[in-house]
Amino acid sequence: MHNPFKNLPASRELHSSRFVRRYEGNPILTAKDVPYEADYVFNAGVAYYHGEYFIAPRVDCHNPDWKPGDARMRSICTGFGRSKDGIHFIFSPEPVKVHYHGEILPWVCDARLTVLEDELYLSFCFENQHSERPGIARWRGTGTDFDAVCIGVPQQRNMILCPFKKDGLYMRLERPSNQWGDPFHIWYSLSPDLRYWGDSELLLGCEDVPFANKKIGGGAPMLEIPQGYLLIFHAVDDDPARKVTFPDGRMWFRRYNAGAALFDKNDPTKLIAITRNPLLVAEAPYETGDLEHLWVEYTVFPCGAVLINGEKTLRIYYGAGDYSTNVAEIDLADLLQELTPCSRLAERATIPFRIEDWKH
């Protein structure tokens, strides 16, 4: 296996790519931009569909009397809006409603939007008494109603439907949690019908990302470009020396960054290159430092990526501090310069217990 990063420490000084351009009007969405009660509007899935941009941000309302340890910390839903330019969105008066066996799923959040076979799909997680569960739902074409086509088992986040097929089968990304606290990785599964999924295997290991030591997860749906299949993902490193304490007593020392990986044009599961450093790091004033308003520190979280400008530029939609929704752009030619050829350390997820010679 060829991986040039195994001796590169994840917890080090990191900066955004010099090629990334943040939109000067950021944030493009905050609580004031949705037509119902909200405190934070972030982690927005975005897709270009039938001549419009559609957006589905997470919308949180917090209990003002919350203290660490309280069970009822917040309520969560997903907004739904559309735009002609991908910057200025008009929102539906109601949040997303995902229908499943005659009921509306609770606390749908962290959505991604995928256009597949001329249909608009919502990939999501929903919180409930029996832990977090992922799902995929199809838009009815009007309003904010979606119909669930598959619901997964706990404990998963970042299930993302791919906008293409692999060998005639539908493909999705997923990120199951690890009960032992070891790093979380990105997996994929295949399906003949969007309902029944199997042939699950590792897509990208945390050990393969040179700026992660805790977990990684899918960001936006994978994009097909001439060079292969592009994945914008998030990566997390922990460093106790980075600890901050919020005014309400919460402590935080994780750092969420956004990176990119490229997979083979003939096989979207075969890693061929990855960014040595993140594309995006929390550095702008609306991304870091404001402990009175941000819910978490050192955090950018990509959920949408759309090719614009004749597919020469990639527009990335990302949450900052679990507070707002923002936009950044990078020319595709520059992004390709940021990629370093590599392959996974583990060819398959069958390595006994732990890779001893991984990057740390």
- Burial class, 277, CB count within 10 angstroms (exposed 0-12 / middle 13-18 / buried 19+): middle
Higher pLDDT, 7 or 180: 7
Q: Is pLDDT at 358 greater than 70 in this prediction?
A: no
Report the domain count for the chain. 1
Q: What is the pLDDT of residue 146?
A: 98
> Mind listing the pLDDT tens digit for each residue in 68-115?
556 566 789 999 999 999 999 999 999 999 999 999 999 999 999 999
Q: Is residue 348 part of a domain?
A: no
Residue 7: per-residue pLDDT: 75
For residues 332 and 338, is the Cβ–Cβ distance under 8 A? Answer: no
Does residue 356 sit within a domain? no
Is residue 11 assigned to a domain? no
| 61-65, 125-129, 225-229, 356-360 — most confident range | 225-229
Tokens standing for residue 273: 């290159």
In angstroms, rounded to a whole number, what is the distance separating the alpha carbons of residues 251 and 297?
10
Whether 178 maps to a domain, the answer reads yes
At 360, is the pLDDT very low, low, confident or very high (cuts 50, 70, 90)? Answer: very low
pLDDT at 183: 87
For residue 72, what pLDDT is reported?
A: 60
- Could you tell me how many helices (H) and strands (E) the chain has, helices first? 1, 27
Domain for residue 115, yes or no? yes
CATH number at residue 180: 2.115.10.20
From residue 279, how far is each of 122, 330, 335, 347 by CA, in Å? 25, 9, 8, 25
| 8 within some domain | no
Residue 356 has pLDDT above 50, yes or no: no
CA dihedral of 265, 271, 273, 279, whole degrees rounded to 10: 100
Residue pLDDT, tens place only, 263-309: 999 999 999 999 999 999 999 999 999 999 999 999 999 999 999 99
Q: Which residues make Cβ contacts (< 8 Å) with residue 249, sequence separation at least 6?
A: 67, 68
| Structural domain harbouring 241 | 21-341
Mean pLDDT score, 22-38:
96
Burial (CB count <10 Å: 0-12, 13-18, 19+), residue 254: middle
Residue 43 lies in a domain: yes
Instruction: Specify if 332 maps to a domain.
Output: yes
Helix (H) or strand (E) holding 333, with range, is helix 332-338
> Per-residue pLDDT averaged across 207-232, rounded?
96
